[in-house]
Amino acid sequence: MDTDSPKPHFAHVETWVFDLDNTLYPPEMALFDQINIRMTDWVMRALNVDEAEANRLRLKYWREHGTTLAGLMRHHDVDPGPYLTEVHEIDFTVLTPDAELAAHIRALPGRRIVYTNGTEPYARRVLDHRGLSGLFDAVYGVEHAAFRPKPEREAFDTVFAQDGLDPTRAAMFEDDPRNLAAPHAMGMRTVHVAPAPDPADHVHHHTVDLTDFLGRLG
């Protein structure tokens, strides 16, 4: 995993793919903490279980299936629409605009897209509150992958086919290292954005600060 002098490794990149949660905003803003609470509450009501069991299932399904929703769909035949609407009804004011990050994203050559396991409407609200609206050529949510989540290869194949991007000329920025395995196998340059590095072979670069990393590519 190379974290020094990243610019030469990205000279070929013409499409920049960004995850959303804990990638385009720092984890200390704790937006996803709100979603976790709402997911647990939803599972409690939908499956008629107590909070401890709902939390256990939420984490179990996330670990085993990539998202809690994927596990709920597979094991409980859950309709994703109402679930996704409810768990994303949160307070976005915890997010603050980042003009420097916006400037670095705007300066990237080629296409810029967002691909999240959330929904497109949710992603656009996050981008708006971060001051990043209008910077991306496309925003893809889990609905664009027929509700199959990252890290499933089929999810990436589906979304990237819709976008028409060439993975061998693209880079992926993600906070969850699991979600970089398929992009790496497809030939993408991979960047892990997180407080701590992951030693996995499918992670090319690690950064604790996306704004700084993009600035070093300019």
Report whether pLDDT(205) > 80.
yes
**Host domain of residue 41:** 31-87
Same domain, 15 and 60: no
**Bond preceding residue 151 cis, omega within 30 of 0:** yes
For 182-201, write each residue's pLDDT tens digit: 999 999 999 999 999 999 99
CATH number at residue 72: 1.10.150.450
Model confidence, pTM:
0.92
Report how far residue 218's alpha carbon sits from residue 211's, in angstroms, rounded to the nearest whole number: 11
Residue 151 within any structural domain of the chain: yes
Residues 6+ apart with CB under 8 A from 102: 130, 131, 132, 135
For 7-25, write each residue's pLDDT tens digit: 999 999 999 999 999 999 9
| Helix and strand counts by DSSP (H, E) for the chain | 9, 6
For 50-106, write each residue's pLDDT tens digit: 999 999 999 999 899 988 999 999 999 999 999 999 999 999 999 999 999 999 999
Residue 138 within any structural domain of the chain: yes
Same domain, 185 and 153: yes
Which amino acid type is present at position 163? D
Residue that the structure tokens 């209008």 belong to? 134
Same domain, 201 and 130: yes
62 with 68: CB under 8 angstroms? yes
For 104-157, write each residue's pLDDT tens digit: 999 999 999 999 999 999 999 999 999 999 999 999 999 999 999 999 999 999
Residue that the structure tokens 């998202």 belong to? 67
